[in-house]
Amino acid sequence: MISSNNCIEHEAVTNFREYLRIPSVHPNIDYSKCVEFILRQAQSLSLPSNVYYMAPGKPIVIITWTGQKPELPSILLNSHMDVVPVYPDKWTYKPFSAHKDINGDIYARGAQDMKCIGIQYLEAIRKYRREKLVFNRTIHVSFVPDEEIGGFFGMRIFVKSPEFLALNVGFALDEGMPSTDNSFTLFYGERTCWHLFIKCMGTPGHGSLLHDNTAGEKLRYIIDKFMDWRDCEKLRLKNSDLGPGDVTSVNLTIIEGGCQINVVPPEFTVYFDVRLAVEVNCDIMENVIKQWCKEAGEGVILEFTEKGCHVEPTKLNDENLYWVALKNQFDKMNLKFKKSIFPGSTDSIFIRELGIPAIGFSPINNTPIRLHDHNEFLNEVTFLKGLDIYYNLIKSLALV
C-alpha cells in the first residue's frame, strides 16, 4: 500500500490507476506500454507469460498459473487492453489521469470497460499466491487487443490459432456490464451482429420532374420496412419483461447519396446496424430482407460488411459444472444476480463459437453505467469489493 490523497491506498488500486494512465485508445494504438505493464505484473506474481502476435502491432499477452493437474481443461480470464476514443473537453478530469476524487471515484477511460477487470483478475491471483493456495486447474489470464473494433486481430483470430488450442480452455470469464442497482448481471450469450447496407439505384434527372423508378422511392420502401421491424421490437421490449439483449435491435446509421438539391441522384445507399435476438433464424431473416429488396424494385442490392453467424448461448444448467460453481458462490456471498443476453458484443462470442462455455461478468453494482461515455469512473471501494468477489469466483472455478 502507498500513501495517496492523505490516506493509504490499496496496492490493487494503485496498480489499477497505473494501468488506466496508459492511453491505449483508438485509433492507431501503441500497445507496447500495456504489454510492459502486464509483463511487470506477471513478474511480480512470479508467473510465466507469453506474448503472441496474430498481426503486427497486435499483441496478445497470456499469463499462466499452472495447476496441479494441468491435463484438466483450464480456466481463461479474459480482458481487453484497448479503450474507445474520448472527447476531452466533455470530461471533468483528464480522461487518462486516473484522478481520484474525495469520494474515491476514479475517473478514466477504461475504468469500467474494462481495465478494472484485468487488474482484479491479477490481484485475486496475487492473494492466492500470498496465501500459498494451489488448484488443480490451470488458470490463464489473457489481455487482448482491438476488442472495441471487432477483435479482428485479437480474440477473433486468436481462437483459431494453435497457441489458443494449447491453452486447453474449458471455461472462460469475460466482461459484462455495471448495474445501477444492488444486483449483478451474468451474461451467457450474445446476439448475432449484422452490419449491412442496401444500395438503391434508379432513374436520375432534373429535380423539377416526377421521374418513375427513382432511387429515392426505393430507399423509402427499404427504410419503411426496417423501421416497421424496429417498431415491432420496441413494442416487444416495452410490453414485456424482456431486456435489451432479448430483442432484435435495428438502427439506421448512415444514408449516402445525392450531389445537389435540384438533381435526382442515380443511387442512394442506406446502412443498418442489426443485432439479431438469439431465437431469430439468420437464414430466414436474410431471405426476408432479400424479399424486401426485390419488392422495392430493380437495382436494389443487399450487401453485408459484417455478417455474424448464430452462436449458441452457454447453457446454464446442472450439466455445466462451471455454472453450478458460479451460482453456488453467488449464493454463498448472498449476492443477487440476473441472467441475461449481452446487448452489445464482446470477445466471449468467439470463445462460445468453439463450444467453450463463457460468462460475461463485471463485479460492479450501484454504479451509473458509463461505458463509452464521458466521465467514465469506478469507485475504489466498488473496485475492491469486486476483487473480493473474483477471489471467491475464480477459486470456485479452479476447484471444479
Interacting residues of 154 by C-beta distance below 8 A, sequence separation 6+: 54, 58, 60, 80, 144, 145, 146, 147, 347
Let me know: does 358 contact 189? Beta carbons within 8 Å: no
Calculate the alpha carbon distances from 294 to 110, 342, 385 in Å: 45, 33, 56
Let me know: does 337 contact 184? Beta carbons within 8 Å: yes
Q: Where are the domains of the chain?
A: 2-176+346-398, 192-307
3-class DSSP state of 34: helix
Let me know: does 198 contact 218? Beta carbons within 8 Å: no
Rounded distance between C-alpha atoms, residue 317 and residue 335, angstroms: 19
Q: Can you name the CATH fold of 192-307?
A: Alpha-Beta Plaits (3.30.70)
pLDDT for the residue 3: 41
Please check whether the domain covering 2-176+346-398 is classified as CATH 2.30.42.10.
Answer: no
The pTM score is 0.92
Q: Which of 75, 74, 53 is nearest to 157 (CA)?
A: 53
pLDDT for the residue 6: 53
Residues annotated as catalytic are 82, 147
Q: What is the pLDDT along the chain (400 residues), one digit of tens a residue?
A: 444 445 689 999 999 999 999 999 999 999 999 999 999 999 999 999 999 999 999 999 999 999 999 999 999 999 999 999 999 999 999 999 999 999 999 999 999 999 999 999 999 999 999 999 999 999 999 999 999 999 999 999 999 999 999 999 999 999 999 999 999 999 999 999 999 999 999 999 999 999 999 999 999 999 999 999 999 999 999 999 999 999 999 999 999 999 999 999 999 999 999 999 999 999 999 999 999 999 999 999 999 999 999 999 999 999 999 999 999 999 999 999 999 999 989 999 999 999 999 999 999 999 999 999 999 999 999 999 999 999 999 999 999 9
Tell me which amino acid residue 90 is.
K
Crossing angle between the packed helical segments 32-44 and 11-20, to the nearest 10 degrees: 160
- Let me know how many helices (H) and strands (E) the chain has, helices first: 10, 19
